[in-house]
Amino acid sequence: MENVEIRLVNNSKGRGLFAKKSFKSGDVIFEETPFVCCQFSWNSEYKYKACDYCLKPLETAQENARRLTGQPNLELPFPDCCTTDKSKIVLCFNCNVEYCSEECKMNSWNDYHKMLCVGLNTTHPLINLNNAWKQIHYPPEESTIMILPRILAMIEQSENREQVLLKLNQFCNKSVNEELELAHKFLGDKFIGSINLLYDLLKNVISQKEIDTIEGFHKLLAILGTNGQGVGTSSISEWVNKCSELPLSDFEREKLNNFIDKLYVDMENNVGCFLNNEGVALYSLQSAANHSCIPNAEPSFLHNNSKLSLVALKDIQDGEEICISYLDECNLGRSRHSRHKQLAENYLFICNCEKCLQEINEADVTSEESDEDMSD
C-alpha cells in the first residue's frame, strides 16, 4: 500500500499500521473494499433495503423518509440530490436477492452466492441459521453470524483456496483459550448455551474442514468479534449531504435546514435512532490499526457503500503509528476504568495509550459513570 504499511510494534502489542507519508487532518489516508460484508439480520428484517453485496441503499431518499417517518405522502425538496439509481437494481435470478448493480450481483455470485443461494426454499439451512440467530440477538445489533457462511463459501468457491485462507488468517491473532473466551463474549452469557446449536446449523449450511471442530467455529467467532467493523449507509444522509452543497440563499438555506431538522425528529419519534442500513465487514488494512483512546484516524464511509475510507482526525507524520478507537464515542468519553473494562472484555487487552497513562492515578470511577459500572 502506497500510503501505509503494517509492521511489528513490539512483542506484546503485535503489529500496527504506520504512515508512509505525512497527512493533514481531514485527509483520506487510504480506502479499501472489504474482504467480506453482510447486512445485520434484524436490520434486513425491518425492511432496511441495501445491496446484498456492498450495502449501498436501494431506497430513494424520499422512500426512505416516508418509511422511517411513517408519512406515506411526505415530499422531499430537491429530489435531484438523491443518489439512488433504482434503474440499476438487479435481482438474483434464483432467489430474488437485490443488488445495486450488475457488477455487485456478479461479484456476489462469484465470491459466495453460488453456494449460498436459497432459491425459493423456505426451509433452507441458511434460513434456519438466520432465524436462530435472530432469536439470540435483538437490536441494537453489533454483528451477525450470517457473515460466516459467506466466508466459508468464499473458501470453497475460490479458484485459489490458499489465497483466501491467507487473507483470512491475517485476522487471526489470538490463542485457543482467548478464542473460546471471545466466542462466549460474542454470544453473551444469556445465550452461550446456544453455541452448539449455531455450530450445528452452520455445518448444515456448508461443510468445511475449517469448522470440522468446535474450535474452528470459535476461531471464526473470535475473528469476527475482534475485527468486525460496523458499516452504515443511508439514502437520507446522502441526500442531506448533497443538499448542503446546493447554492441557496440564506432564506432558502434556513428553510431547508428547518425541514431537515424536523425530518430527523419525525424519523426518530417513529423508529427510534435506527435510521441506517447497517451491517458488519472485515477489512485487511483497517483491522491492523491498533486502538488508542486519543485516536488520530477514524473509519468513514464516504461512498455510501461498504468501501471504507480511513480519515485522519489530526495531522499525522511520516512514520507515525495510525490508531483508531475500538470504542464508540460514548464509551470513549468515560473514565479510564470504564474504557479498560470494555476493552478487556471485548478485545482482551489493557490500553496503555497516552491518555490512559495520564489518567493512571485517577479514581476507578467518576460521577458520570453508570450505576452498573459503579457497582462492579
Domain identity same for 59 and 181: yes
C-alpha span between 55 and 108 (Å, rounded): 12
User: What's at 277, amino acid-wise?
Assistant: N
| 217 & 342 share domain | no
Q: How confident is the model at residue 138 (pLDDT cuts 50, 70, 90)?
A: confident
Q: What is the pLDDT of residue 25?
A: 98
Range with lowest mean pLDDT among 5-9, 56-60, 188-192: 188-192
Tell me if 175 is assigned to some domain: yes
User: Alpha carbon of 92 to those of 35, 55, 95, 112, 277: distances in Å?
Assistant: 21, 15, 6, 13, 20
My answer on whether 212 and 69 are in the same domain is yes
Are both 66 and 213 inside the same structural domain? Answer: yes
Question: Are 215 and 360 in a shared domain?
Answer: no
In a domain, 44, yes or no: yes
The answer to whether 41 touches 138, Cβ cutoff 8 Å, is no
**Domain that residue 341 falls in:** 336-376
Residue 89, pLDDT score: 98
Query: Is residue 150 included in any domain, yes or no?
Result: yes
- Gap between the Cα atoms of 141 and 42, Å rounded: 8
Residue at a domain's end among 229, 259, 291: 229
Domain boundary among the residues 229, 251, 280 is at 229
Instruction: Answer whether residue 327 is part of any domain.
Output: no
- 61: in domain: yes
- Residues 79 and 220 both lie in one domain: yes
Could you give the CA distance from residue 305 to residue 126 in angstroms, rounded to a whole number?
Answer: 24
Looking at the domain assignment, is residue 235 inside a domain?
no
Which whole number is the average pLDDT over 244-266? Answer: 97
Claim to verify: residue 223 and residue 86 sit in the same structural domain:
yes
Reported as a pLDDT band with limits 50, 70 and 90, residue 11 is low
Return the SS3 of 14: strand
Does 191 have pLDDT greater than 60?
A: yes
Question: Which of the four pLDDT bands, split at 50, 70 and 90, describes residue 181?
Answer: confident
Q: Which cell is 163 given?
A: 489465497
Evaluate whether residue 155 is within a structural domain: yes
Residue 22 is which amino acid? S
Assigned domain for 27 exists = no
pLDDT at 373 over 50: no
What pLDDT shows up at residue 374? 41
Residues 349 and 204 in one domain: no
Nearest alpha carbon to residue 179 among 220, 137, 133, 229? 220
**What pLDDT is attached to residue 365?**
62
Chain mean pLDDT for the chain: 91
pLDDT in tens, 350-360: 999 999 999 98
Domain count, the chain: 2
What is the average pLDDT across 118-132? 94
pLDDT confidence of residue 116: 96
Secondary structure (DSSP) of 232-254: EE-HHHHHHHHHTTS---HHHHH
Domain boundary among 178, 199, 229: 229
User: Which pLDDT band holds residue 295 (cuts at 50, 70, 90)?
Assistant: very high
